Structures are given as C-alpha cells and as structure tokens.
C-alpha cells in the first residue's frame, strides 16, 4: 500500500505521487489520471495520449453541436 499526500499550491490542490506510485500506475509526469467510482471502491487509471486526444475531439464536437443536442432532447 502506498500513501499519497494532498498538498495545496495557491488556490489549487494536488496529490503528490512518489516514484513507486507512478510505477504502479504506469504513469509519467504530464499524464492524465482518471478516477472512476464503482460500487465499493474508486479505481485510478491513466488516460493514454491517444484516448486523451479522442476525448478532446469528442468535447469539441459536443460543444459545436450543443444547441442541436439540446433541441433534440426536448
């Protein structure tokens, strides 16, 4: 088990990961971590660069057609 420290930097809060935590997560500095809640636990995983790119594209599409989706939802 690894304990993580939560620190405040100005107005932001960060979780500080040591080298062992990064290794366990398969993460590197600059990667995105995703937290997902299941019934009785929280799962932490990394978001690959390709998946991150796809998510950004999807967000752009959703923003571009937001009004259309809202009208269709009525």
pLDDT at 11: 95
CATH class, 5-73 region: mainly beta
pLDDT at 60: 92
Closest CA to 26 of 47, 42, 5: 47
- 55 phi/psi in degrees, rounded to 5: -65, -40
pLDDT at 57: 92
pLDDT at 48: 74
pLDDT at 9: 92
Q: Is 21 exposed, middle or buried (0-12, 13-18, 19+ CB in 10 A)?
A: middle
Q: Which residues of the chain have pLDDT under 70?
A: none
């Amino acid at each position: 088990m690894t304990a993580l420290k939560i620190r405040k930097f100005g107005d932001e809060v960060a979780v500080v990961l040591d080298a062992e935590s990064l290794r366990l997560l398969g993460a590197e500095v600059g990667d995105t971590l995703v937290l997902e809640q299941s019934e009785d636990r929280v799962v932490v995983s990394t978001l690959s660069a390709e998946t991150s790119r796809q998510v950004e594209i999807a967000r752009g599409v959703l923003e571009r057609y937001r009004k259309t989706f809202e009208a269709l939802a009525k």
